[in-house]
Amino acid sequence: MDVIDLKILEELKSDSRMSFNDISERIGKTEATVRRRVKKLMEENVIKRFTIEYELDTKPKTSATIKVEPDFKDIKRILAELSKIEEITSIWRLSGDCGLLMKVDIPSIEQFNPLIEDKISPIQGIKIVETCFITDVIK
């Protein structure tokens, strides 16, 4: 094994799906050279397998909408405080007397009441009008 083999291994280590052509451009060798050397490294059991790293988001999520009536004289402060709450993923200001509509994403339904009681309700100037759990996303 020489410097060229090590360069090939480093490229494959950073992205095992990288094409032989891309590797050849990065290390300054021909595609045929890279192909031949990778084959040899596999035969010598230096390269044991090509693999991937991944992360599954296996946490179930519960989503809901919360409609609130804000005190409009304090709307900037209220919006600033609501924006800091991590679980609130969207905030819409609605026309007329409709107030604000928020979407929240939480890991489980058990965390909904603490979100309301500990983070949203203590904000001065808002009144929670309605909450709806999202049961299915159509579009």
pLDDT per residue as tens digits for the range 18-51: 999 999 999 999 999 999 999 999 999 999 998 8
**Residue percentage of the chain with pLDDT more than 70:** 96
pTM, rounded to two decimals:
0.58
Q: Same domain for 66 and 29?
A: no
Q: Which CATH number is 20's domain given?
A: 1.10.10.10
Its domain, for residue 24, covers 3-43
What's the Cα-to-Cα distance from 76 to each of 46, 70, 117, 133, rounded to whole Å? 61, 10, 21, 27
Q: Same domain for 32 and 69?
A: no
Q: Same domain for 32 and 88?
A: no
Give the up-direction half-sphere exposure of residue 47: CA atoms within 13 A in the CB hemisphere: 20
Q: Same domain for 35 and 98?
A: no
Overall domain count for the chain: 2
